[in-house]
Structure 1
Amino acid sequence: MEVKTNPIQVADKLFAVIELLAAKGAMGLMDLSSELELNKTTAHRLLNSLAYMGYVFQEPSTHKYRLSFKICGLSNQILNNIDIARVVRPYLRELVNLTGETVHLVQLDGMNAVYIDKIESTNNSIRLVSQLGKQLPLYCSGVGKALLADMPSKKVARIWNDSEIVSLTPHTIVDFSELERELKKVSKNGYAIDDEENEEGIRCVAASLGTKGSESEYAFSLSAPIYRMDDKRMTEIAKHILETKEKIMINIY
Structure 2
Amino acid sequence: MENKNPIQVADRLFLVMEQLAETGPVTLAELCSHLDLNKSTVHRLLSSLMYMEYVKQDSETGKYSLSFKLLGLSNKLLSHIDILDTVRPCLKKLSEETGETVHFVQLDGLEAVYIYKEESHQNSIRMVSKVGSRIPLYCSGVGKAMMADMPASQVQAIWEDSSIEKLTPHTIVDYTQFSEKIKEVRAKGYALDDEENELGVRCIAVSVPDYKGRPKYAFSISAPIARMSDERIEELAHIVLQVKEEICQCMK
Same fold (TM over 0.5): yes
Residue 181 of structure 1 is matched in structure 2 by 180
Secondary structure of the structure 2 residue equivalent to 1:89: helix
**Given the superposition, is the C-alpha separation of residues 252 and 18 from structure 1 closer, same or farther in structure 2, using an over 3 Å criterion?**
closer
Residue 89 of structure 1 is matched in structure 2 by 88
RMSD over aligned CA atoms reads 3.1
Between the aligned partners of 1:135 and 1:190, the Cα distance in structure 2 is 23
AA of the residue aligned to 1:131: K
Between the aligned partners of 2:111 and 2:56, the Cα distance in structure 1 is 30
AA of the residue aligned to 1:38: L
Between the aligned partners of 1:10 and 1:93, the Cα distance in structure 2 is 40
- Checking the alignment, whether the CA contact within 8 Å between 1:151 and 1:214 is kept in structure 2 is no
Q: What do residues 93-132 of structure 1 show as CA deviations (whole Å, max 9, x unaligned)?
A: 0000001100000111111111110010123421111111
Give 1:72 shift: 3.5
AA of the residue aligned to 1:114: V
Residue 227 of structure 1 is matched in structure 2 by 226
Give 1:10 shift: 6.8
Secondary structure of the structure 1 residue equivalent to 2:223: strand
Q: What do residues 8-32 of structure 1 show as CA deviations (whole Å, max 9, x unaligned)?
A: 7775655677899xx9xxxxxxxxx
27, 41, 48: which is aligned to 1:37? 27
Unaligned runs of 5+ in 2: 1-10, 30-38, 58-63
- Checking the alignment, whether the CA contact within 8 Å between 2:202 and 2:222 is kept in structure 1 is yes
**Given the superposition, is the C-alpha separation of residues 185 and 76 from structure 1 closer, same or farther in structure 2, using an over 3 Å criterion?**
same
Residue 137 of structure 1 is matched in structure 2 by 136
Q: What do residues 211-244 of structure 1 show as CA deviations (whole Å, max 9, x unaligned)?
A: 9x95311110000000111111111111111111
Give 1:73 shift: 3.1
Secondary structure of the structure 2 residue equivalent to 1:209: strand
**Given the superposition, is the C-alpha separation of residues 146 and 91 from structure 1 closer, same or farther in structure 2, using an over 3 Å criterion?**
same
Residue 77 of structure 2 is matched in structure 1 by 78
Residue 6 of structure 2 is matched in structure 1 by none
Unaligned runs of 5+ in 1: 1-7, 24-34, 59-64
AA of the residue aligned to 1:174: V
Using the size of structure 1 for normalisation, the TM-score is 0.77
Secondary structure of the structure 2 residue equivalent to 1:233: helix
- Checking the alignment, whether the CA contact within 8 Å between 1:143 and 1:192 is kept in structure 2 is yes
Residue 4 of structure 1 is matched in structure 2 by none
- Checking the alignment, whether the CA contact within 8 Å between 1:147 and 1:215 is kept in structure 2 is no
- Checking the alignment, whether the CA contact within 8 Å between 2:204 and 2:233 is kept in structure 1 is yes
Matches within 5 A, 1:141-152: 141-152=140-151
Using the size of structure 2 for normalisation, the TM-score is 0.78
AA of the residue aligned to 1:90: P
Instruction: Kindly report structure 1 stretches of 4+ aligned residues shifted beyond 6 Å.
Output: 16-20, 41-44, 65-69
Secondary structure of the structure 2 residue equivalent to 1:103: strand
Residue 98 of structure 1 is matched in structure 2 by 97
Count of residue correspondences: 225
- Checking the alignment, whether the CA contact within 8 Å between 1:193 and 1:204 is kept in structure 2 is yes
Between the aligned partners of 2:187 and 2:152, the Cα distance in structure 1 is 15
Residue 206 of structure 1 is matched in structure 2 by 205
AA of the residue aligned to 1:197: E
Q: What do residues 46-101 of structure 1 show as CA deviations (whole Å, max 9, x unaligned)?
A: 5530244454699xxxxxx9988753431122211211112101000000000110
**Given the superposition, is the C-alpha separation of residues 71 and 207 from structure 1 closer, same or farther in structure 2, using an over 3 Å criterion?**
same
Matches within 5 A, 1:18-57: 36-38=26-28, 45-46=44-45, 48-53=47-52, 55=54
**Given the superposition, is the C-alpha separation of residues 167 and 156 from structure 1 closer, same or farther in structure 2, using an over 3 Å criterion?**
same
AA of the residue aligned to 2:94: L
- Checking the alignment, whether the CA contact within 8 Å between 1:55 and 1:71 is kept in structure 2 is yes
Overall identity of the aligned pairs, in %: 52
- Checking the alignment, whether the CA contact within 8 Å between 2:206 and 2:219 is kept in structure 1 is yes
- Checking the alignment, whether the CA contact within 8 Å between 2:28 and 2:43 is kept in structure 1 is no
- Checking the alignment, whether the CA contact within 8 Å between 1:14 and 1:46 is kept in structure 2 is no
